[in-house]
Amino acid sequence: MLFFTQCFGAVLDLIHLRFQHYKAKRVFSAAGQLVCVVNPTHSLKYAPTRCAAAQASTEQSILPPCHHHEAVHDPQLVPCTCPLFSCPWEGHLEVVVSHLRQTHRINILQGAEIVFLATDMHLPAPTDWIIMHSCLGHQFLLVLRKQEKYEGHPQFFATMMLIGTPTQANNFTYRLELNRNQRRLKWEATPRSVLECVDSVISDGDCLVLNTSLAQLFSDNGSLAIGIAITTSKVHSPEAEM
C-alpha cells in the first residue's frame, strides 16, 4: 500500500514538473531556448556574517553542514560557494563544480542562452534559487535570492558568478532579462568570481534588484522566468557607452 502511495506521489510530482516546463516552453518556445525549472532552497538558519573570517561553525541545515571562509590560506583553494549554507569544504577551483553538484545537488545546464524558471516566488525570505550554467568553456553560478534588506519588505536579487578567478571573470558579460506583460527589464554586467562572496555582491546591491511588486508583474502563476545569456566581453570605453 505504501509502495502504491509513493508511486502516486512520484507521478503527481512528474506531472507538476512537466506542467511547469510546458508553461515556460510556451512563453520561450519562439527563441528555442533551453528552459530549466529551478526549485527554491529555503533555509531558516541564515547566517549574515558567514562571509567574515573563517571560524568554527556548529550550524546544521537541511543539506550537509557547511561553513564559509573568506581568508583562504592556500590561494589555490576555494571555499564552498553554495549560498545560504555554511559549508566547511574547500578545494581547488577545478573541483568546485563537482562539489556543488554532488554535495548540494545543484543542476548544471549547457548553452549560451538558457531560461531560468524559479518556482514558488511567494516563499518567505530568505530563499535562494541556484543553478550552474556551462558556457564558453566555463561554468557560472546563477543565484536568485529573496531577502529582507528592510524588515518586512522582501526583495529579489539576481547575480551571476564565474567559477574561476576574477581575471577570468573580467572576460565575460552576463545578461539577465525579464519579459512579461509588455514590460522588459534587462541587466548586463561583468560576472564576479566565486572567490568573492555572493553575500557582499547582494548587500552592495550590485546586481539585478526587484521589489516584490515588480517581481509579481514579471511572474506567471508564482514562477519567475529569467532569460540568461553570456558573452565574451568587449573593451568598454566611456565614449562607446549608451
Contact residues: a second copy, CB under 8 A? 26-31, 33, 115, 149-150, 153, 173, 177, 179-180, 182-190, 204-206, 209-214, 217, 225, 227, 233, 236, 238-242
Q: Of the two residues 96 and 198, which places its CB atom closer to a second copy in the complex?
A: 198
- Rounded to a whole number of angstroms, the minimum distance from the CB of residue 118 to a second copy is 15
- Rounded to a whole number of angstroms, the minimum distance from the CB of residue 218 to a second copy is 11
Residue 54 grid cell: 573563517
Q: Of the two residues 42 and 180, which places its CB atom closer to a second copy in the complex?
A: 180
- Rounded to a whole number of angstroms, the minimum distance from the CB of residue 213 to a second copy is 4
Q: Of the two residues 98 and 211, which places its CB atom closer to a second copy in the complex?
A: 211
Q: Of the two residues 63 and 214, which places its CB atom closer to a second copy in the complex?
A: 214
- Rounded to a whole number of angstroms, the minimum distance from the CB of residue 86 to a second copy is 25
DSSP-assigned states of every residue in 76-130: TEEE---SSSB---EEEGGGHHHHHHHTT---EEESSEEEEEE--TTSPSSEEEE
AA letter at 158: A
23 three-class SS = helix
- Rounded to a whole number of angstroms, the minimum distance from the CB of residue 92 to a second copy is 28
Q: Of the two residues 28 and 129, which places its CB atom closer to a second copy in the complex?
A: 28
- Rounded to a whole number of angstroms, the minimum distance from the CB of residue 188 to a second copy is 4
CB-based contact 98:10 (threshold 8 Å): no
Is the backbone peptide bond immediately before 65 cis, with ω within 30 degrees of 0? Answer: no
**Helical (H) or strand (E) element with 34:** strand 34-38
Q: Would you tell me how many other CB atoms lie within 10 Å of the CB of residue 135?
A: 19
Q: Of the two residues 132 and 178, which places its CB atom closer to a second copy in the complex?
A: 178
AA letter at 100: L
The rounded distance, in Å, linking the Cα atoms of 1 and 6 is: 9
